[in-house]
Amino acid sequence: MTRKLSPNTKKLPSFQQLEDRHLMAADLVASAPEPAAVRIAEVQTIGHFANSALIGPTGIAGIEPAETVEIHDMSADFVFAGPRILFDGPNQVDPERQDGTKDNPASDDKADRTESDEGSSVKDQTDQQPQPGARRAHHVIRRADGGWTDEYVDCDQDGNRIGRTFETYDRSGVLRERQTIRVDEDGNRTTTTDNYDEDGKWTGSTTESFDADGRRTGGQKTQVGQDGNVQRESYNPESGEWEPVAEDDNTEATDRPGGRIARHHIQNLDGGWTDEYVDLDADGNRIGRSSETYNDRGMLRERQTTRTNADGGRTTTTQTYDDDGQWTGTTVESFDRRGNRISGERTTPDGNGGTTSQTYDPDSGEWR
């Protein structure tokens, strides 16, 4: 059956309306000069993409399997329908261009293409059953800027679906954003978004909580400046505003020589938590920060300390541990005041009771 979709019959729904619902294509399609025909291989709900676009101005869902539709493309960054369909710019339904060339070979490795008499498609990568504590590759979404977004379905230790993860890469294959979405049994949602610069260096994180009706109930922002300074904000649901977190907020102890101030206790989505501290020298002066991350069994997974140098740079020491609390490595890194890594040393156990070491080469940007 072929159906010609009427143009622009409704305004795009909000994210909350789109979440976990099937919507008729006629409610979402906008008009454009040239249509593109595509076979919908599978009905699939739609959700939030990592760049905050609601599947672009041309999105479809709720189409019956094997139904053919005409889609009027609006040159969106990307448009998407179903796990076996990938749209790549104006009038393109297949990851390959009309002339057979490819926009982004890196992303083509992430999806197996199949051809049929009824049209081109991208093979769904989720045929296997969920694995405990794993994630399943769900979609590869091509972007007009040459980058792509990978979507995953996340599962808990029992193999139950607990949410989704979106990873957005630029055309060079550098991770620029990672977003995780978790929904509890009451319909409440927690979204965590990590951002990275063009070199792949982490620049900040935003965690937001929403109730079942889509109202934001809380949030935390952490932003790292080029000078290495960290700025934090928290969301005030009463005012609806993001407010700076004062330096001494959430302290549980007073300054004392050679001690530290407990500043934040952050509950992580995996059931573990992270404790953040302000560290003091013997005279009670602040000399840096530290954090300790624990898993859901209370085992230490990571301890990190950051010290600010006299020239405005910083030195970070990170110790990592496995699920049983056994040490797995120590990394010491030095950064200049602009946040560029200038040196580093990494030590890991060699499995025979000894250790192996690597050093960071700032000229090549590699560990050797």
d(C-alpha 199, C-alpha 112), whole Å: 29
Asked if residue 43 has pLDDT above 70, the reply is no
Band of pLDDT at residue 360, cut at 50, 70 and 90? very high
| Residue 129 sits in the same domain as residue 19 | yes
Q: Please state the rounded mean pLDDT for residues 257-264.
A: 58
Candidate ranges 118-127, 230-239, 260-269, 309-318; pick with highest mean pLDDT: 309-318
Residue 11: per-residue pLDDT:
34
- Considering only residues 86 and 165, tell me which one the structure prediction assigns the higher pLDDT: 165
Residues 131 and 278 in one domain: no
Mean pLDDT estimate for the chain: 63
Q: Cα separation of 47 and 181, whole Å? A: 10
Considering the domain boundaries, does residue 230 fall inside one?
no
Range scoring the smallest mean pLDDT among 97-111, 151-165, 264-278: 97-111
Looking at per-residue confidence, does 256 or 153 come out higher? 153
On whether residue 221 sits in a domain, the answer given is no
Q: Of 180, 204, 203, whose CA–CA distance to 191 is shortest?
A: 180
Q: Would the pLDDT of 330 be above 90?
A: yes
pLDDT value at position 56?
31
pTM: 0.39
Q: Are 156 and 266 members of one domain?
A: no
Q: Does 167 share its domain with 257? A: no
| 196: in domain | no
What pLDDT, on a 0 to 100 scale, did the predictor assign at position 107? 34
- Whether 151 and 269 map to the same domain: the answer is no
Considering the domain architecture, whether residues 105 and 22 belong to the same structural domain is answered as yes
Q: What is the pLDDT of residues 274-308, one digit of tens each?
A: 888 877 777 777 788 888 888 877 888 999 999 88
Q: Please, which residues have CB within 8 angstroms of residue 96's CB and are 6 or more apart in sequence?
A: 102, 113, 120
Domain range holding 273? 247-367
Residue 120 resides in a domain: yes
287 CA to centre of own chain: 31
What does the block give as tokens for 281? 């020298």
Asked if the model's pLDDT at residue 150 lies above 50, the reply is yes
| Residue 188 within a domain | no
* Percentage above 70 pLDDT, the chain: 55
Q: Are 71 and 158 part of one and the same domain?
A: yes
Instruction: Give the end of a domain, one of 139, 161, 183.
Output: 183
Could you tell me which of 61, 60, 63, 64 has the C-alpha nearest to residue 72? 60
Is residue 191 in some structural domain? no
DSSP-derived 3-state class of residue 143 = coil
Which residue shows structure tokens 């159906």? 3
How many Å separate Cα 26 from the centre of its chain? 31
Alpha helices in the chain (DSSP H): 15-18, 105-108
Q: How many structural domains comprise the chain?
A: 2
pLDDT over 90 (residue 225): no
Q: Are residues 31 and 160 in the same domain?
A: yes
11 plus 100 within the same structural domain: yes
> For the chain, what percent of residues have pLDDT higher than 90?
9
What's the pLDDT band for 184 if we cut at 50, 70, 90?
Answer: confident
What does the pLDDT look like over 49-86, one tens digit per residue? 222 222 333 333 333 333 333 333 333 333 333 332 33
Q: What is the mean pLDDT of residues 296-324?
A: 87
- Do 179 and 260 belong together in one domain? no
Residue 16 and residue 135 in one domain: yes
* pLDDT tier for residue 249 given thresholds of 50, 70 and 90: very low
Minimum mean pLDDT range among 226-230, 285-289, 337-341: 226-230
Q: Report if residue 141 sits inside a domain.
A: yes
281: domain CATH number?
A: 2.40.128
The domain boundary residue, chosen from 155, 183, 211: 183
The CA distance from 5 to 268, in Å, is 44
Domain end among 183, 202, 236: 183
For 219-224, the CB contacts below 8 A with 24+ separation are: 220/266, 224/339
User: Could you tell me which of 184, 182, 241 has the C-alpha nearest to residue 216?
Assistant: 241
- Predicted confidence (pLDDT) at residue 93 exceeds the cutoff of 90: no
**Quick one: 265 and 357 in the same domain?**
yes
The answer to whether position 202 is within a domain reads no
Q: Please determine, for residue 161, whether its predicted confidence score (pLDDT) is greater than 70.
A: yes
